[in-house]
């Protein structure tokens, strides 16, 4: 399995508009972060995780023109507002593109994108998507993979992590990882996990908490994602334990 991080930044992106901090002015390309998203390749299948407002630029940069399905983590704009850009993908498909989303977010997705999922959908004018609600703990078949949805708290709300067997687990936008979820992913080969900044935050994991969870889960390789402009790549990455790294836009990690 091959995981490519299309974006690793927060809802603001990095650099942030109007900011002249040392990270936003950094010449290190690893400090330039589009909104968080990833592509998972397994065998002949390719899966997209989240579709934020930078999706078009991300797919062009990665030279990706085909996708076999989309996994959405939660209904926040930096994770879903690029869904209509999938028109370029679905125009070439002979069948609808499946979009798996947390069941609780299905009504909001339909309300926000009536032209994609609702009664006003117009074939030929919008992406041909097949929205499928998934419950917490449910396992679904996606190509050659058995993928499990696991809910985690995101402040007062919820986000869904997607777990691809024992190969890869992806958790963005969470404020804690319950013991039941930790047990479910313990020993996974590669873990991608939220790490907003060094200082604590009410709705996201900070560095200390992310490190604790990552160590507890025991993944061979850990990549931290969803980072703000308060994280300077070279400085933070240099102090991480063995096997743990900051992901950056375009970076790749292999599972297995």
The model's pLDDT over 68-121, given as tens digits with 9 standing for 90+, comes to 999 999 999 999 999 999 999 998 888 899 999 999 999 999 999 998 987 766
Mean local confidence (pLDDT), 11-25: 98
The region of weakest confidence among 84-88, 172-176, 206-210 is 84-88
Distance CA(3)–CA(190), nearest Å, equals 9
CB-CB contact of 23 with 234 (8 Å): no
Provide the pLDDT confidence category of residue 124 given band limits of 50, 70 and 90.
low
Radius of gyration of the CA atoms of the chain, in A: 17
Q: If you classify domain 2-247 with CATH, what class do you get?
A: alpha beta
Mean local confidence (pLDDT), 167-188: 98
Distance CA(176)–CA(186), nearest Å, equals 15
Whole-number pLDDT of residue 123: 67
Listed residue (230, 223, 235, 226) closest to 205, CA to CA: 226
Over residues 44-74, the pLDDT tens digits come to 999 999 999 999 999 999 999 999 999 999 9
For the chain, give the percent of residues with pLDDT over 70: 98
Q: How many CB atoms lie within 10 A of CB 219?
A: 23
CB-CB contact of 73 with 192 (8 Å): no
Distance CA(7)–CA(55), nearest Å, equals 9
Does residue 204 register a pLDDT over 90?
yes
Does residue 142 register a pLDDT over 80?
yes
Which neighbouring-strand residues pair with 97?
129
Helix (H, G, I), strand (E, B) or coil at 24: coil
CB-CB contact of 16 with 78 (8 Å): no
Does residue 199 register a pLDDT over 90?
yes
């Amino acid at each position: 399995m091959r995981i490519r991080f299309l974006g690793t930044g927060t809802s603001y992106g990095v650099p942030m508009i109007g900011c002249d901090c040392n990270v936003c002015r950094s010449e290190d390309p690893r400090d330039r972060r589009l909104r968080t998203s990833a592509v998972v390749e397994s065998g002949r299948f390719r899966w997209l995780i989240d579709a934020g407002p930078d999706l078009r630029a991300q797919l062009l940069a990665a030279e990706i023109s085909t996708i076999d399905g989309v996994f959405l983590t939660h209904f926040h704009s930096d994770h879903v507002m690029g869904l209509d850009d999938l028109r370029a993908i679905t125009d070439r498909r002979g069948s609808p593109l499946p979009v798996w989303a947390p069941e609780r977010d299905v009504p909001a997705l339909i309300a926000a994108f009536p032209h994609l999922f609702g009664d006003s959908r117009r074939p030929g004018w919008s992406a041909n998507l097949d929205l499928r609600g998934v419950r917490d703990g449910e396992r679904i078949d996606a190509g050659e993979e058995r993928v499990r949805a696991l809910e985690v708290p995101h402040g007062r709300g919820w986000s869904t992590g997607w777990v691809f067997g024992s190969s890869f687990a992806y958790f963005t936008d969470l404020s804690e990882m319950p013991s039941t979820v930790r047990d479910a992913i313990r020993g996974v080969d590669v873990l991608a996990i939220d790490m907003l900044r060094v200082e604590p935050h009410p709705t996201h994991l900070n560095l200390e908490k992310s490190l604790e969870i990552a160590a507890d889960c025991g993944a061979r390789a850990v990549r931290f994602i969803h980072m703000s402009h308060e994280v300077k790549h070279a400085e933070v990455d240099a102090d991480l334990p063995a096997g743990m790294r900051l992901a950056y836009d375009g970076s790749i990690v292999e599972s297995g």
